[in-house]
Structure 1
Amino acid sequence: MGTGFVDIDNVALRYGGEATGTLALSGMNLSVGKGEFIAVVGPSGCGKSTLMKAMSGLWPVTSGGVSVAGQTVSGPLSMVGMAFQAATLLPWRTTLDNVMLPLEITQPYRSEFMQKKSQFRDKARALLKLVGLEGFDEKYPWQLSGGMQQRVSLCRALIHEPALLMLDEPFAALDMFTREELWGVLQEVWMTKNPTVILVTHDLREAVYLADKVYVMSSRPGRIIHERDIEFARPRDLDITFRPDFGDIAHDLRDHIYTARQDAA
């Protein structure tokens, strides 16, 4: 294994049987440093979400190895927080109770939940304040906009202080203005909490705006075919997305994705 906080070593992953199943990943190598923010982009169906499942232990690899924090991944990891395109909040729970859900089901928090419930509620409220949702803790999901629901989902992913935050198209269903607003929220959360972040996205502007490094995957079976360091100073604001050098990076990444699609045709 490598020396990163997350190491993917020559991974292959096949769904549906060793002989006849779909080979989603092959020859996948990736190393992510502790506290780094990376983005993964690529053609549709290239295995980006499969890569997330392999990293988090939600799906076993067929061959190769995955390690996080120096430990081989052989099952679901409690040190991971995850947020997806759909917020998937429980409709019968308030905002505060949705955020606190991981504390009820993951150790060591589960065993001390009842005696520390007041402290955990304060912690959840502090996270909600960080993402601009102070005062919404007793609202239900149906009383929140889509962007607000995604903020709650992000808080839920962070409440147990995960060392690794994995985001699978978390803003894809939102309008452009809400999406751009949440880029700023996510950047602030990352700079405040400093988890290692792996973002899967189809939005190249989002990838370049948020990440330290962007990786491009090939068409299925997916592997890394290009990486690009993003060296803009932080904190970043939206004005940077209109700069020519920002556009040049996004166009370069698009060219690599286009080439990957053509190679698969």
Structure 2
Amino acid sequence: MTLVSLDNVALTYGGDEGTLAVDDLSLKVRRGEFVAVVGPSGCGKSTLMKLVTGLQRPSEGVVIVAGKEVTEPVSIVGMAFQNPTLLPWRTTLDNILLPLEIVQRHRKRLRRHKAEYVAKAEALLALVGLKGFGSKFPWQLSGGMQQRANLCRALIHEPELIMLDEPFGALDAFTREELWGVIRDIHAQKGITIVLVTHDLREAAYLADRVLVMTARPGRVKLEREVPFARPRPLDLMYEKPFVDLVHELRAEIAEARDAA
């Protein structure tokens, strides 16, 4: 069943004479699927995020999420970005609970059932390896720990769709690989639909069921590549020849898209 659909979408920033970011962009994401989006810099990957979440309206075409045309910010989406953006004056636990103060269907229940939501937040912290850190402030956490908390915040309101925009790009290689394992396990346990925008081709090939390669600006889908590796995927997979070959194939496609610009 399709959860996300873009049909011949175009978006121009700055009016008719502005920058055409994406054009004739069409794609579908199935419910429960993990899709990674890669491409040359400036190809419209982040614009895709804004279109799906309703933060931008298309200039042309239609965006549909969960059977409804997107005309406003979508409440069934959780988002995580490269910078965790945790509020420094709130504890980790209170940062995670923040979306519940905003999402309409949870806001009224939060006051009456706060203990229930706190328990849910604590369970998420345990899931990402931060059990016992709910009382800490962001400045007391490492970058990797902050990003784990950021993932919890994206999940707390039980979204049907998670949008990840370069969430691990600012982390060191070892921490990044640790968090790949975390997001891999979250996807497996919760069966949630995930769209990941990334420049890291190993990350895309390791995590995704399908990789979409975009052209240079104006962005559109150049290639859809199914990832053939069975789940669960161990980190050692990245040193095996079929995995390395897939990464090289994706890199060649992106180089071709960049050269064609």
In which range does the TM-score fall when normalised by the shorter chain?
over 0.9
Q: What's 1:143 paired with?
A: 140
Q: What's 2:242 paired with?
A: 245
Counterparts of 2:37 and 2:251, CA distance in 1? 12
* Paired AA for residue 206 in structure 2: Y
Displacement of 1:110 after TM fit? 0.4
Q: Could you list the per-position Cα deviations for residues 126-149 of structure 1 after superposition, in whole angstroms to 9, with x for gaps in the alignment?
A: 000000000101000000000000
Q: What's 1:17 paired with?
A: 15
Displacement of 1:233 after TM fit? 1.0
Q: Could you list the per-position Cα deviations for residues 223-242 of structure 1 after superposition, in whole angstroms to 9, with x for gaps in the alignment?
A: 00011100211111110000
Displacement of 1:54 after TM fit? 0.4
* Paired AA for residue 181 in structure 1: E
Counterparts of 2:200 and 2:18, CA distance in 1? 29
* Paired AA for residue 11 in structure 2: L
Counterparts of 1:59 and 1:243, CA distance in 2? 40
Q: Which runs of 5+ in 2 are unaligned?
A: none
Q: What's 2:108 paired with?
A: 111
Displacement of 1:185 after TM fit? 0.3
Counterparts of 1:38 and 1:166, CA distance in 2? 10
Matches within 5 A, 1:1-265: 4-18=2-16, 20-264=17-261
Counterparts of 1:105 and 1:224, CA distance in 2? 33
* Paired AA for residue 12 in structure 1: A
Q: Could you list the per-position Cα deviations for residues 198-245 of structure 1 after superposition, in whole angstroms to 9, with x for gaps in the alignment?
A: 000000000000000000000000000011100211111110000000
Displacement of 1:104 after TM fit? 1.1
* Paired AA for residue 236 in structure 1: R
* Paired AA for residue 75 in structure 2: S
Counterparts of 1:195 and 1:85, CA distance in 2? 20
Counterparts of 2:181 and 2:101, CA distance in 1? 29
| Larger CA deviation: 186-195 vs 175-184 | 186-195
Displacement of 1:71 after TM fit? 0.6
Residue aligned with 1:221, SS: coil
Counterparts of 2:49 and 2:106, CA distance in 1? 24
TM-score by length of 2: 0.99
Displacement of 1:49 after TM fit? 0.1
Displacement of 1:52 after TM fit? 0.6
CA RMSD of aligned residues (A): 0.6
Number of aligned pairs? 261
Residue aligned with 2:104, SS: coil
Displacement of 1:195 after TM fit? 1.2
Q: Could you list the per-position Cα deviations for residues 174-202 of structure 1 after superposition, in whole angstroms to 9, with x for gaps in the alignment?
A: 00000000000000111111111000000
Counterparts of 1:23 and 1:195, CA distance in 2? 32
Q: Which runs of 5+ in 1 are unaligned?
A: none
Residue aligned with 2:218, SS: coil
* Paired AA for residue 80 in structure 2: A
TM-score by length of 1: 0.98
Q: Could you list the per-position Cα deviations for residues 60-90 of structure 1 after superposition, in whole angstroms to 9, with x for gaps in the alignment?
A: 0000000011110001000000000000000
* Paired AA for residue 263 in structure 1: A
Counterparts of 2:190 and 2:75, CA distance in 1? 17
* Paired AA for residue 164 in structure 1: L
* Paired AA for residue 244 in structure 1: K
